[in-house]
Amino acid sequence: MKLTILGCYAATPRTFTNPTSQVLEIKNHLFLIDCGEGTQVELRRNKIKFSKVKHIFISHLHGDHCFGLVGLISTFRLLSRESELHVYGPKGIKEIISLQLKLSNSWTNYPLLFHELDSKKPQVIFEDDKVSVETIPLKHRIYTNGFLFREKPGLRKLLINEASDYNIDISLYQSIKMGKDVISNDGKVISNHLVTAPPDPPKSYAFCSDTVFDPGIVLQLRNITTLYHESTFLEEHVALAEPTKHSTAKQAGTIARDANVKKLILGHFSTRYGSIIPFKEEAQTIFKEVELADDGKIFTL
Amino acid sequence: MKLTILGCYAATPRTFTNPTSQVLEIKNHLFLIDCGEGTQVELRRNKIKFSKVKHIFISHLHGDHCFGLVGLISTFRLLSRESELHVYGPKGIKEIISLQLKLSNSWTNYPLLFHELDSKKPQVIFEDDKVSVETIPLKHRIYTNGFLFREKPGLRKLLINEASDYNIDISLYQSIKMGKDVISNDGKVISNHLVTAPPDPPKSYAFCSDTVFDPGIVLQLRNITTLYHESTFLEEHVALAEPTKHSTAKQAGTIARDANVKKLILGHFSTRYGSIIPFKEEAQTIFKEVELADDGKIFTL
């Protein structure tokens, strides 16, 4: 799993900082999460192949998370895209994009499919044989979802030497990987656990931005591998966090600790701060495994 | 008059080229013309004071001319703007912006006034005592206007030595500048032309993008100071110009020559070309005074 941060700063695009957008590579998918103004330029800068983006997840309709979407959709058209594009986002997103395409007389030449969200409960919005994506209802000033990306458990690992020792025919190896007991060439029943090891534990990534501090999400995030949690403010500005429905670095650390995640990535920094280092230091007073997002940074999860 | 090019390339924003946007400083106004994605970042990069932009003119609703508008309007709000913002553009522009502000629950805290255009004839859309702005109906794939900015003639120039020689009281100088005859301290009628020189000839700037080659606009552009005319293509691709309703550099040169303008600035270059120098060379086969726009370039007109 690889996460590329295209932008991780709050509010407005600036000369050297971009609003929220990131790309998650997971099991051959390239999922784009949020799409602030300038995202298409950041995709180019980070050499991400436009045609590989087939699913876009939009957390909410504040501009710093979605104003780049219509431009990206239009550029896909200019690039003669043919494959489907799926957009998951709050109710209303289809109307915004459709109106602009209509008034510019620029309908897409590829299938553009909207999956509008309005549920306030977690729901699985994408699933195939390797990955699932579920919403994480967040508390912000407008309807907002985080997204939880989970790998599905892989096949069990074949212990090739043991399988050979037990005289198992090669044609049965796939059955063994799928967890089945098999019959050896000697006619004996070989219990699966004798010739396999458990698969690698499936990884998971949760994107939670924007949100006020909300312990209500901890249960859903329990034991996930990596949590990206917004930290617009430091504790010194905690009084701003509640009314604007944002979080502090310490609060993000608290969610990470209580959910027992493996790693916390902080992002959505207010540009009022001269340095983002204090965000890490503050979160680490609560939870040790903290990293800072930054534009152009790549995390191998 | 000062023109700052924020972006002058066609189609999509790229790592090192921006879609159309420019700022015209004229008689204490800062007029923003078109607003492609990323315009707010280019305004910052070019150190243009956001609060001084009070009028935005949008030629048409193709994305590379307007997708940055909603972001800029939102940023004005975050910057606690209080003064009026006037947006002039094709019918539909108000609906696009209003829908996005409504769905993001982010109404502006300053007066946002739309002046929607649908006339196919030139019309004056802004006027004060120093400047007028009129539309230039253009022929493109969708409803499009260019904009013609004209200084109004200034006051006549007082010839201070002559006025003194004719023994004219200082209190009459303003009358003289306004072209009036006055009575000297000796009781004589002094004809205005004896103590003034004509004002500087008023300057004018026309923005014409996007448009197919259209000799029909020549009459309106007659004798203006500076013409910005799109040249998406070189003549080698003239076969693409007509169906896409764009112009070549040679065609832009033809308009400039036939309208007897003083200077032609070329822009809206397709990114298919490795260099923009050939645009200048091609236009100069028809008309001598050609300059090339480029992102970040400033013209003192």
For B155, the 3-state DSSP assignment is coil
For B6, the 3-state DSSP assignment is strand
A161 burial level (CB within 10 Å; 0-12, 13-18, 19+): exposed
Tell me the pLDDT of chain B averaged across its residues.
97
**DSSP result, chain A:** -EEEEEE-BSSS--SS---SEEEEEETTEEEEE---TTHHHHHHHTT--GGGEEEEE----SHHHHTTHHHHHHHHHHTT--S-EEEEEETTHHHHHHHHHHHTT---SS-EEEEEE--SS--EEEE-SSEEEEEEEE-SSS-EEEEEEEEPP-PPEE-HHHHHHTT--GGGHHHHHTT--EE-TTS-EE-GGGTEEPPPPPPEEEEE-S----GGGHHHHTT-SEEEEE--B-GGGHHHHHHHT--BHHHHHHHHHHHT-SEEEEE-B-TT-S-SHHHHHHHHTT-S-EEE--TT-EEE-
A44 touches chain B (CB under 8 A): yes
Helices (H), ranges, chain B: 39-45, 63-66, 69-78, 93-103, 160-165, 173-177, 218-221, 238-244, 249-259, 277-284
> What pLDDT is recorded for position A104?
94
> What pLDDT is recorded for position A209?
98
Question: With the C-alpha atoms ordered A204, A210, A213, A216, is the resulting torsion angle positive or negative?
Answer: negative
Q: Which residues of B touch A40 (CB under 8 A)?
A: 12-13, 37
d(CA A65, CA A20): 5
Confidence of residue B255 (pLDDT cuts 50, 70, 90): very high
B48 touches chain A (CB under 8 A): no
Q: Which residues of B touch A96 (CB under 8 A)?
A: 99-100, 103
Q: What is the CATH number of domain A1-149?
A: 3.60.15.10
> What pLDDT is recorded for position B138?
98
* Residue A291 CB contacts under 8 Å (≥ 6 apart), including other chains: A263, A264, A265, A266, A280, A299
Given an 8 Å threshold on Cβ–Cβ distance, is B99 in contact with A104? no
> What pLDDT is recorded for position A199?
93
Fold of B2-154+200-300: Metallo-beta-lactamase; Chain A (3.60.15)
Above pLDDT 70, what percent of chain A?
100
Confidence of residue A107 (pLDDT cuts 50, 70, 90): confident
B145: pLDDT strictly greater than 90: yes
d(CA B6, CA A193): 66
d(CA B204, CA A256): 61
Tokens of A292: 């800072």
B204: pLDDT strictly greater than 90: yes
Tokens of B258: 């036939």
- Note whether A293 and A276 are within 8 A (CB): no
**Structural domain spans, chain A:** 1-149, 157-197, 211-293
> Which of B37, B77, B98, B140 is the best substitution to test chain A (most A C-beta atoms within 10 A)?
B37
Q: What pTM value is reported for the model? A: 0.93
Q: Which residues of B touch A104 (CB under 8 A)?
A: 61-63, 142
Crossing angle for the helix pair B277-284 and B249-259, to the nearest 10 degrees:
40
Sheet with strand B204-208: strands edge to edge? B124-127, B131-138, B144-151, B204-208, B226-230, B263-267, B290-292
For residue B264, the cross-strand partners are: B227, B290
Tokens of B98: 């209003």
User: Which residues of A are marked as active site?
Assistant: 64
Above pLDDT 90, what percent of chain B?
98
d(CA A84, CA A64): 25
d(CA A144, CA A137): 6
For B58, the 3-state DSSP assignment is coil
Above pLDDT 90, what percent of chain A?
98
Confidence of residue B241 (pLDDT cuts 50, 70, 90): very high
d(CA A81, CA B274): 24
B185: pLDDT strictly greater than 90: yes
Given an 8 Å threshold on Cβ–Cβ distance, is A142 in contact with B61? no
A95 touches chain B (CB under 8 A): yes
Strand A2-7, strand A21-26: pairing = antiparallel
> What pLDDT is recorded for position B107?
87
> What pLDDT is recorded for position B48?
97
Tokens 């579920």 sit at which residue?
A134
- Tell me which residue of B258, B260, B252 sits closest to B281, measured CA to CA: B252
Q: Per-residue pLDDT tens for A6-26?
A: 999 999 999 999 999 999 999
Question: With the C-alpha atoms ordered B265, B270, B271, B276, is the resulting torsion angle positive or negative?
Answer: negative
Q: Per-residue pLDDT tens for B32-74?
A: 999 999 999 999 999 999 999 999 999 999 999 999 999 999 9
* Residue B281 CB contacts under 8 Å (≥ 6 apart), including other chains: none
Minimum CA–CA partner of B16 in chain A = A41
Q: Per-residue pLDDT tens for A223-249?
A: 999 999 999 999 999 999 999 999 999
Alpha carbon of residue A53 to chain centroid:
13
Given an 8 Å threshold on Cβ–Cβ distance, is A12 in contact with B71? yes
* Residue A177 CB contacts under 8 Å (≥ 6 apart), including other chains: A155, A156, A157, A158, A196
Q: Read off the DSSP letter of residue B50.
A: G
d(CA A252, CA A283): 7
Q: How far is CA A27 from CA A2, A148, A298, B264, in A?
A: 10, 15, 17, 54
For B116, the 3-state DSSP assignment is strand
Q: Per-residue pLDDT tens for A263-283?
A: 999 999 999 999 999 999 999
Residue B300: CB atoms within 10 Å = 7
Q: Per-residue pLDDT tens for A49-103?
A: 999 999 999 999 999 999 999 999 999 999 999 999 999 999 999 999 999 999 9
Nearest by CB to B37, from A15, A37, A104: name it.
Answer: A37
Minimum CA–CA partner of B47 in chain A = A15
Residue B171 sits at the vertex; the CA angle it makes with B167 and B173, to the nearest 5 degrees, is: 75
